[in-house]
Amino acid sequence: MKGLVLKDLYSVKKYMRQYVLFFAVFTVVGIMLKMPAYIGFLGAFYGMSLFISTFNTDEFFHWEAYVLTGPLSRRDLVKGKYVLMILLMGSAAVIAILGELAVCVITKLSVTENFAAGLSMMIYIFLMMSVVIPLIYKFGGEKARTSMILIFVVPVVSVALIGKIAVTENVNEFLEHISWPAVAVGAVILCIMALILSYIISLKIIEKKEF
């Protein structure tokens, strides 16, 4: 399984320079616009794109059919992808949150409010990927693209509209009384449960799939 993860990491390595440049540019944009959440949203989106690109590469080269002729099992394939997702998305989320906090310090915006936004984005990305991965295994990367866009865009737009309608003072007062350690622990537990369920579903799908 380690070899499968390394193979995918090597395949996305060529995009790392672009990711660093991308993150630097949008950090500057976030500072200029005083919108720290802008960094988190786009950083997480790009990290997700890197992960999904590994599925497209595997499909193009018929990698799964080839590798299953060896000693590796279908369970190893699925497990390798989930490990890769946790590594890529976890790293992207942490970097994005640190970027958001840095922008908050520079622009003197509310750290509490933007930390909440960053944490929410991290939870959302992991939950979203828990849904997306089984879809990719079921329909393939290209066919599942429309579903992925809807899963990503619709909730984000909904939250943005709700945020416009909500009264800012009430939101800030609510956020100040939240126990963030408890929220963080709850978020981690929720993500773990979602990933376990997603892994089980993906495994059942790939066990019935013909290559």
Over residues 63-89, the mean pLDDT reads 89
Residue with tokens 């499968």: 4
Is 99 within 8 Å of 18 (Cβ atoms)? Answer: no
Q: What is the pLDDT of residue 26?
A: 75
Highest-pLDDT range among 5-9, 79-83, 151-155, 169-173: 79-83
What is the rounded distance in angstroms from the CA atom of residue 31 to the CA atom of residue 38?
10
Q: What is the pLDDT of residue 120?
A: 73
Mean of the per-residue pLDDT values for the chain? 78
Amino acid letter for position 71:
P
Amino acid letter for position 82:
Y
Over residues 32-41, the mean pLDDT reads 73
Is 136 within 8 Å of 209 (Cβ atoms)? Answer: no
What is the rounded distance in angstroms from the CA atom of residue 197 to the CA atom of residue 130?
8
Q: What is the pLDDT of residue 206?
A: 92
Count Cβ atoms below 10 Å from residue 57 Cβ, excluding itself. Answer: 15
- pLDDT higher than threshold 60 for residue 172: no
What is the rounded distance in angstroms from the CA atom of residue 17 to the CA atom of residue 13?
8
The secondary structure of residue 162, as a DSSP letter, is H
Express as a percent the part of the chain with pLDDT over 90.
13
- pLDDT higher than threshold 80 for residue 147: no
Q: What is the pLDDT of residue 210?
A: 78
Instruction: Write down the number of H helices and E strands in the chain.
Output: 9, 0
Q: Is 178 helix (H, G, I), strand (E, B) or coil?
A: coil
Sequence-separated (6 or more) residues with CB below 8 Å from residue 23: 39, 43, 46, 95, 99
